[in-house]
A and B are shown apart, each in its own frame.
Chain A
Amino acid sequence: MSTDVQEPPPDATANTEVSDELAAVAAPEVMANSLGEYVRIWFSRVRNGESGALPVILGLVVIVVYFQVRSSLFLSAGNLVNLIGQAAWIVTLGMAEVFVLLLGEIDLSIGFTSVIGATFTCWMLLPPHPVAWPLAVLVGLAVPAIFGGIQGVIITRLRLPSFVVTLAGQLLGTGLLLEVMQQAAPNGGGSIRLYNNVLLNIEGGSLSPIAGWIVMIVAVVLAGGLFLVRDTRRRASNLAAPPLSVTLLKIAAMVVAGVVVVLIGNTNRGVGLTVVNGVPWVVPLVLVVVVAWSFLLGRTRFGRYIYAIGGNAEASRRAGINLNRIRVLAFVLAGLTAGITGIIYTSYLGSVSTGVQGGQLVLLAVAAGVIGGTSLFGGRGKMLGAVLGGIIVAVIYNGLELLGLGAAPQYMWTAAVLLAAVTVDTLARRRSSTG
């Protein structure tokens, strides 16, 4: 009649199969012992809405195939490079939004603040007395960052909902843009040109074909090496590491993606006898931003705290995290990233105008984030997701434009995709909270 508890031996669970229930929520990287198990865990997660990147990529493939069937021009080098140009600013604005979405907040102002920043940049670069372009860029990034910071302070100090504060910010931004433009180019008819070749080359210029290959190879080798070193170090410390086959598959996927982008870029897209080829400069630029922000979110305290606050603000407060500081910083970073978007967008168009649809841009950014798997409720999402989501939005726009369908179906299709993404997000959350 012993009342003592019979404890399971310590390794009782260690070698057993991963249960479906557990597999549904845990990261396959650390749970799987083999590729087969990895795939099985991964499927359970997809069923539970914890999908990761692959379903988004599959969706992208479906959309691409559809457009290619409807228009053979879609997969032409010329159109794909154009698509990269469009996707670049949707992607970066999506990344800006991810910072605040992860906190469970939203920033509706960044569509306009990005363009206000770019207006300052163009203003400072106006002939006959242009300043050095890095200085102009710095101002173009600082203005939206400060705007974001002020909004962040209002939201945290006065405890107002970010939706309302940044909606006010959007209206204020609309007015500010008109005002700044009036000062910068009184006779410009509401627009100002970008007079700087370095900045114009972000979207307009390309790496030489050989440089494209070199950059791609260096990037893939660095990333792949990093993966392998990390796994090796984990194994050396007796910690669970993903199976080698899984890591190799990931590296292979990166190689394929890199080769495809460089091949597309290096294909001659000139008309007639002029040869135009090379990967646009905007590709490595966006890559740098993605890597930097992913590092910030995934490998630093600041990033950890963003996820923590988005997951459970009260627990984070009790853990001694300064919630207000992190929140304000997130809004500053969202503004800063919006500033980068403004420069890229201006480079794409060659000018800034007051006719820009800042309110619509920001909704595309939210769509990019959410389609890419960032939860509107905070705590879940990745920068890489915003890249994939941004590409999907850009593909829809580009494809429908190519089919000559105009604005109406563009809005409706984006609406449908966004609604689908939000539904998946909400259902996944509901399922995980009920059991």
Chain B
Amino acid sequence: MDATDSTPDPAGEQVQAQAQAQEQATQAADAQPLLRLTNVGKNFGPVRVLMDINLDFPPGLVTAVVGDNGAGKSTLIKTISGIYQPDGGEIRWQGRQVHLHAPKDATDLGIATVYQDLALCDNLDIVANMFLGREETKFGQLDEIGMEKTAKQTLADLSVVTVRSVRQPVGSLSGGQRQAVAVARAVMRQAKLVILDEPTAALGVTQTRVVLDLIRRLKSQDIAVIVISHNLNDVQSVADRIAVLRLGRVVAVGPASQYDAESIVDLMTTGTSKRLAAVPAEQSGSSSEH
């Protein structure tokens, strides 16, 4: 298929976009990443949950973190979002070393974590949820009009069009819409890195599509995105880079195009994949290469 053909061809454009992203992804190691983890480790007592994690998260790219249960995905995310403190290694944010002692430290930097179910108050409307904890006030009164305008604008920027009114209670929204509200909240707060924890789990086909589109839109706003997911289909359709965790180690990291579903499963389960032998892995995450 010729992507430069004059007739609009969405599939072709997508191929081209993927090619660009791949290029970006391979260059990413050279440019300064938004977030860089170097030799990060985490122990719970004698149990080593994370070991020598070396990962870069460049802006404008979607990095999928995949791994079997117990691989350390959640611990990694919680370390990045300030819930856990690493026992070793260093975290650099825009080239500067940072210590995240509490979730607030991460939020202040611009790291937003979106959890599927825990983040929204069903009884409050969309505007109230998006501004929860950071309400704007005028003379001590909530500035409802100002907040509603900002909320509408943010949702529009993310092309969330299925919500009829921003004054609907969040309890009346579908799973995908709730996810969209949670992501919009992060974007509205000038997040530079958005972490999505299993964003498509428990969503139907249409809703999943809504969320994946949303992730692409985040990317286009030059936001770095980390997606934790079990769903390899989703990962492959949206991720620019894939990092595979196994037993607390990064066993592979590189442009998404290097991996197919089978090689990812190989990596998740055994830590190696013969199918990848021909392709050299990216340097920054090669801690487990023997």
Contacts and interface: CB of A to CB of B under 8 A. Distances in A.
Nearest to B136: A301
B167 A315 contact: no
Q: Ordered nearest first, which 8 A-B pairs have the shortest CB separation?
A: A319-B133, A311-B121, A311-B123, A25-B172, A4-B10, A379-B123, A30-B167, A319-B132
Interface string B83-100: 000000000000000000
A314 B172 CA distance: 19
A27 B120 contact: no
Interface stretch (B52-60, B139-147, B194-202): B139-147
Given A5-B213, A18-B164, A308-B128, A239 B148 contact: yes
Interface in B83-141: 103-104, 107, 115, 118-125, 128, 132-135, 137, 140-141
A317 to B, nearest CB: 9
B165 A240 contact: yes
Given A25-B171, A25-B172, A31-B164, A299 B142 contact: yes
Interface stretch (A8-16, A86-94, A174-182, A338-346): A8-16
B161 A12 contact: yes
Contact of A26 (B137, B152, B167): B167
Given A10-B161, A239-B149, A26 B118 contact: no
B145 A26 contact: no
A106 B221 CA distance: 46
Question: How big is the A interface, by class?
Answer: 35 or more
Contact of A304 (B128, B152, B164, B167): B128
A264 B239 CA distance: 71
A5 B205 CA distance: 12
Interface of A: 1-5, 7-10, 12-14, 18, 22, 24-27, 29-31, 233-234, 237-240, 299-301, 304, 307-308, 310-312, 314-316, 318-321, 379-380, 432
B93 to A, nearest CB: 20
B122 A312 contact: yes
B14 interface: yes
B133 A321 contact: yes
A308 B125 CA distance: 10
Interface string B163-192: 011011101100000000000000000000
Nearest to A10: B161
A304 B161 CA distance: 26
A315 B164 contact: no
B159 interface: yes
Nearest to B118: A314
B11 A8 contact: no
A349 B162 CA distance: 58
Contacts of B142: 299-301, 304
Looking at chain A's contact residues, the main secondary structure is loop
B209 interface: yes
B200 to A, nearest CB: 14
A301 B136 CA distance: 9
Point out which of B103, B133, B142, B172 has the most chain A C-beta atoms below 10 A from its C-beta: B133
B215 to A, nearest CB: 13
Contacts of A320: 104, 107, 133-134
Contact of B149 (A30, A237, A379, A380): A237
B162 A13 contact: yes
A301 B135 contact: yes
B121 A233 contact: no
Interface in B1-20: 9-11, 14
A315 B132 contact: yes
A264 to B, nearest CB: 34
Nearest to B210: A5
Given A233-B145, A239-B145, A27 B167 contact: yes
Given A7-B161, A26-B172, A300 B10 contact: no
A301 B128 contact: no
A7 B156 CA distance: 13
B132 A237 contact: no
Nearest to A4: B10
B161 A4 contact: no
Given A22-B168, A233-B145, A8 B162 contact: yes
Nearest to A240: B165
A316 B132 contact: yes
Contacts of A30: 165, 167-168
A29 B169 CA distance: 13
A5 B168 CA distance: 26
Contacts of A13: 161-162, 164
Contacts of B10: 2-4
A26 B122 contact: no
Contacts of A24: 172
Contacts of B137: 300-301
A25 B169 contact: yes
Nearest to A234: B145
Most central of B135, B164, B209 by chain A CB within 10 Å: B164
